[in-house]
Amino acid sequence: MRLSPVALLLPALVALPAAAIEVDGRIDPVEWEGARHITDFRLTQPLSLEASPYPTEAWVKSTPEGLAVAFRNIQPPGVERTRQRTRRDEGGQLDRVNVIVDFDGDGRTGYDFMITLAGGIADEVVTNEGNFNNDWDGNWQYASMEDEAGWSAEFLIPWYIAPMRKADGGTRTIGLYLDRVIGSTGERVAWPTASWVRPRFLSEFNRVELPAFSQSLLAVTPYVVGVHDNIGGDSEFDAGADIFWKPNGQTQLTATINPDFGQVESDDLVVNFGAEETFFSDKRPFFTENQGIFNFGMLLDNSQLIYTRRVGGLADDGSGAASIDAAVKLNGSLGGMNYGLMAAEEEGDAGRSFRALRLNHDFARQNIGLLATQVLRPWLDREARVLGVDHRWQPTDSLTVTSTMVGSDIEQDGTTTRGSGATTVVDYEMGDGWRQQWLAMHFGDDLQVNDFGYLSRNNLNYGHWQLSRRMANQPEASAYASHDYRGRIIGMDNDDGLRLQRQLRLIRQSDRRDGGNEYLQLNLNAPAHDDLLTRGGHALHRPGNFSLSWERFRPRKADWSWEVDLWAGSGGLAGNDKVGYSVQFQPTYYFSDSLNAFVGAYAEYTPDWLVWQRDNLVGRFEQRYLQFDAGLAWSIGQRQELRVKLQAIGWMRNCRRRWWSARTGGRRWSNRLATTR
């Protein structure tokens, strides 16, 4: 029996492995054979859930090299394309696509990967359903390509990029979300129809079962640095290394020895006359790599039990920033439990020791976690221990309850101080765009978490009720695509029963059809007290006041984009008798897609600005503030850029009077004119 050459070749073809995906932005049908094909994209911005008016397709495929995703985006001729280049994580109103992956499929942590039409990228970690943090930078492959009909993008996300549980039976179930943004209109189409404007986002991802693969990674990055002081004549040399070891997806070890953080971008300059500490995000690679598991927020702005800027912060002896000897972090999963361990050591007699343990477990409709931290501060003879428990419960498809409980145990100079706190938020989706939210916070006067964490204040009891309505379907002739109306009633007291805030807040947040957005907010405040301004002294009584703000952003049209912020409000001890204002305007001109320049002006007038002087003495100032900004950005290529920025500030303040805060008996406080100068 004779066999044809084709018949002889067939067994060899069957035995050949599937073609590896070359990440070049060209969607090769052979490479993507067998991939899951997705076409049901729907409008989620505005949140009408209508079928996508822009043909969009995606392919998802599990490969030994990583999770591969491709987009094919058809762009009608009448829809302008945005091709401007951006630096990593810059974002902006651009044509772009996003892939967000929850590798464990439990709704706790997602990893966002974004590619723009011009080939720019961004990556973020998503926690607490919809909190995005772009401090994290992952190592993944990407490409985009434009043609006459539209544009395409390809992603290849390695399996070692994030901790994940061990696969079961040769398959892995992930949570997956894909979306496309049309930059010139601001519209977003997504699969599935999840949105972070709702109480749930991560837990609404589609569950996708894929073949399981495992990858390993070992990377050692040494450094040597030399510094010479031209004035003192001294020279200093140093060396160290960063180590990343990921034997598989279940275990990931990150370590740093004698780290040098000189390559990290500098913080913005901040002048703070207030009583609350300024919060700065962390850009240091060791502390951003796989940090999501350690996230433990407490609802108050920027609050968290691990604030990594404490490590290497101001030394306990006041000598300046502390030097870090070494730090190590271990993330992984064991059975149904995710865990994280972190430790860091500072050098010298004033050096501190930081420890953290994180555990969490996911159940069918709820998730519970624990975070324990310890900080040893020998210079202060202080040991700080904090324990937090967080819980998320979704009893129905429309109701979500999230709660935390925190306790601190501080030993210093032989004295022990214990404090506690708790928070809860209840979100209820009522249907037809209606939503209610109840939120409560209690932080006891003795709660202390700032040895390792960040809490802007303790001694606080806060509650609010919010009713909101989302109106996604605006008339075609309207300049607006959608509105989100919110009304909130706020009450805040300290543990002594002193009224700190009674506020009615009204908000309208809108998306416009030109791709821009608009924000309007009115705050009406009843008379209350400020118990922080005098830094532990007598509280200051403040009369009722108001504020009204309006913000408008218009993305690039032709060669221009611009944004404007307007604010007017009262305050201080004058209440509504004196009204201040601020105005900000910043236009940007685009010489090309890679070169742009901006100028900005900001003016502020505060007729009754309160600044603490000493003890219970408060100064009342008339303040005028002017700021001028200008800058130029040139994106030379994907790996080179040139940025120049100028900032000038003018500040004038006149001291009108000084006032003492005095106690008149019980919980009553008054302010009286001071005779001292």
Query: pLDDT at position 8, please?
Result: 32
Radius of gyration of the chain (CA): 28
Confidence band for 267, pLDDT divided at 50, 70 and 90:
low
Check whether 61 has a pLDDT greater than 90.
yes
Query: pLDDT at position 269, please?
Result: 64
Confidence band for 419, pLDDT divided at 50, 70 and 90:
very high
Q: 431 lies in a domain? A: no
- Nearest CA among 124, 116, 307, 92 for reference residue 201: 124
Q: Which amino acid is at 118?
A: A
Of the chain, the percentage scoring pLDDT greater than 90 comes to 58
CATH of the domain at 176: 2.60.40.1190
Asked if residues 98 and 71 have their Cβ atoms less than 8 Å apart, the reply is no
Q: 86 lies in a domain? A: yes
Q: Which residue has the higher pLDDT, 582 or 238?
A: 582
Query: pLDDT at position 111, please?
Result: 94
Confidence band for 525, pLDDT divided at 50, 70 and 90:
very high
d(CA 270, CA 298) in angstroms, rounded, equals: 24
d(CA 441, CA 230) in angstroms, rounded, equals: 53
Check whether 323 has a pLDDT greater than 70.
yes
- pTM greater than 0.85 (yes/no): no
Confidence band for 7, pLDDT divided at 50, 70 and 90:
very low
Look up the domain containing 162 and give its range. 18-211
Q: Which residue has the higher pLDDT, 285 or 317?
A: 317
Query: pLDDT at position 667, please?
Result: 56
Number of helices (H), then strands (E), belonging to the chain: the values are: 2, 37
The backbone torsions φ and ψ at residue 376, rounded to the nearest 5 degrees and listed phi first, read -100, 125
Q: How many domains does the chain have?
A: 2
Q: 353 lies in a domain? A: no
What single DSSP character describes residue 168?
Answer: B
d(CA 168, CA 105) in angstroms, rounded, equals: 13
Query: pLDDT at position 231, please?
Result: 78
- Nearest CA among 86, 67, 85, 77 for reference residue 23: 67
Confidence band for 662, pLDDT divided at 50, 70 and 90:
low
**Which of 182, 211, 240 is the C-terminal boundary of a domain?**
211
d(CA 9, CA 485) in angstroms, rounded, equals: 66
Check whether 15 has a pLDDT greater than 60.
no
Q: 267 lies in a domain? A: no
Residue 440, class by beta-carbon neighbours within 10 Å (0-12 exposed, 13-18 middle, 19+ buried)? Answer: middle
- 3-state DSSP call for residue 445? coil
Q: 242 lies in a domain? A: no
Parallel, antiparallel or unpaired: strands 595-614 and 187-191: unpaired
Q: 354 lies in a domain? A: no
Q: Which residue has the higher pLDDT, 91 or 109?
A: 109
Rounded average pLDDT over 319-343: 88
Confidence band for 300, pLDDT divided at 50, 70 and 90:
confident
Lowest mean pLDDT among 267-281, 291-305, 367-381: 267-281
What single DSSP character describes residue 130?
Answer: T
Rounded average pLDDT over 601-614: 92
Query: pLDDT at position 145, please?
Result: 95
- Nearest CA among 595, 601, 603 for reference residue 644: 595
Query: pLDDT at position 313, please?
Result: 87
Query: pLDDT at position 663, please?
Result: 59
Query: pLDDT at position 136, please?
Result: 82
Q: 630 lies in a domain? A: yes
d(CA 217, CA 136) in angstroms, rounded, equals: 18
pLDDT, tens digit, 9 for 90 and up, residues 448-507: 999 999 999 999 999 999 999 999 888 989 999 999 999 999 999 999 999 999 999 999
Confidence band for 292, pLDDT divided at 50, 70 and 90:
confident
Q: Go through 591-622 and write b for each residue having 16 or more CB atoms within 10 A of its CB, e for each that does not.
A: eeebbbebebebebbbbbbbebeeebebbbbb
Check whether 345 has a pLDDT greater than 70.
yes
E-strand ranges in 472-574 read 480-493, 499-512, 517-525, 528-530, 540-542, 545-557, 560-571
- Nearest CA among 409, 439, 441, 438 for reference residue 422: 441
Query: pLDDT at position 290, please?
Result: 76
Query: pLDDT at position 568, please?
Result: 98
**Which of 186, 211, 236 is the C-terminal boundary of a domain?**
211
Average pLDDT value for the chain: 88
pLDDT, tens digit, 9 for 90 and up, residues 173-229: 999 999 999 999 999 999 999 998 888 899 999 999 999 998 888 888 887 877 777
**Which of 211, 230, 249 is the C-terminal boundary of a domain?**
211
Confidence band for 6, pLDDT divided at 50, 70 and 90:
very low
Q: 606 lies in a domain? A: yes
The alpha carbon dihedral of 482, 424, 277, 134 has a sign of negative
- 3-state DSSP call for residue 595? strand
For residue 277, how many C-alpha atoms fall within 13 Å in the half-sphere facing its CB?
15
- 3-state DSSP call for residue 582? strand
